[in-house]
Amino acid sequence: MPALILDGVAIARHVYASLKPRIAALVQCGVQPGLAALQIGGNAASRLYVRNKVRACTEIGIYSEVHQLDADCTETAALTMLEQLNRNPRLHGVIVQLPLPPGFDVRRLLQSVAIEKDVDGFNWSNLGGLVDGHGGLKGLTPCTPLGVVTMLDHAGITIEGRHAVVIGRSPSVGKSMALLLINRGATVTVCHSKTPDLTAHAFRADILIAAAGRAGLVTADMIKPGAVVIDIGINRLPDGRLAGDVTFAAACERASWITPVPGGVGPMTVAMLIANTVTAAERTAGLRAPSAVV
């Protein structure tokens, strides 16, 4: 039986519906959640991502700003802009849109975002909260891993007691994904480019998460029949099409559930950014945020 599709667009709509009463409660308290994006340079994909985020903010009633700096600006100018955004009381979330042009210290810029406004969840204090097992310090968890867990919960897919294999070890996705799954009671194996016999590790997974950024890395023979397959990879093929890390058509014949690319994890990442912004605004206003997004 072909795999069932985890539709990120549809699940994101449920997330936005759950956020609307929370935003309304904030507005009643005189607070409109606000999100600012700092973009440096003219990366076309980044511009598209920022437009998608702004559109989502507009549709749900969140105030948004986009601050554009030229690729040849100084790092000092970028840090000064972040300091201004950190101090702006109208903003509850601040993000630095990646990738940055060559020459910028990515870590320095990301760590310059105020912890309480770090809605991307990249600050070391928020990442450290995942290690502690209680989520980010301010309840702000990296958006892509949070979106994956939200998708699994929405579909009623059990995490506790399952064996999850994560392919990829970036701090914001692979490592954070592993920690979230551990905190939810899964047994987790993390694989990467140096892992020998990747196929053998992947085949043991009840939940297989591909986040390596290599088109077609995960083939059908790596998927245990009935496994849940989450494809976080977004790769641009030579003909311009987008593709994930998983060979989708063949994987559909092996998996029980699978995410498409595009239309899977991507829309959920944006939805979690909006959810984190609402959470940050609630904390500023002294309101108690719910323990779950949906």
Catalytic residues: 53, 97, 120
Q: In this structure, how many other beta carbons lie within 10 angstroms of the beta carbon of residue 262?
A: 15
| Cβ(222)–Cβ(210) below 8 Å | no
* Phi, psi torsion values for 111, nearest 5 degrees: -75, -5
| Cβ(60)–Cβ(274) below 8 Å | yes
Q: CB neighbours of 280 closer than 8 A, spacing ≥ 6?
A: 33, 92, 93, 116, 117, 119, 138, 140
| Cβ(165)–Cβ(229) below 8 Å | no
| Cβ(97)–Cβ(64) below 8 Å | no
Compute CA distances 73 → 65, 80, 105, whole Å. Answer: 19, 11, 13
How far apart (Å, rounded) are the C-alpha atoms in residues 155 and 257?
A: 9
| Cβ(202)–Cβ(165) below 8 Å | yes
Q: CB neighbours of 47 closer than 8 A, spacing ≥ 6?
A: 39
SS3 content of the chain, % helix, strand, coil (to 5): 45, 15, 40
How far apart (Å, rounded) are the C-alpha atoms in residues 75 and 81?
A: 10
How far apart (Å, rounded) are the C-alpha atoms in residues 210 and 232?
A: 6
How far apart (Å, rounded) are the C-alpha atoms in residues 150 and 44?
A: 29
Tokens of 53: 């985020």
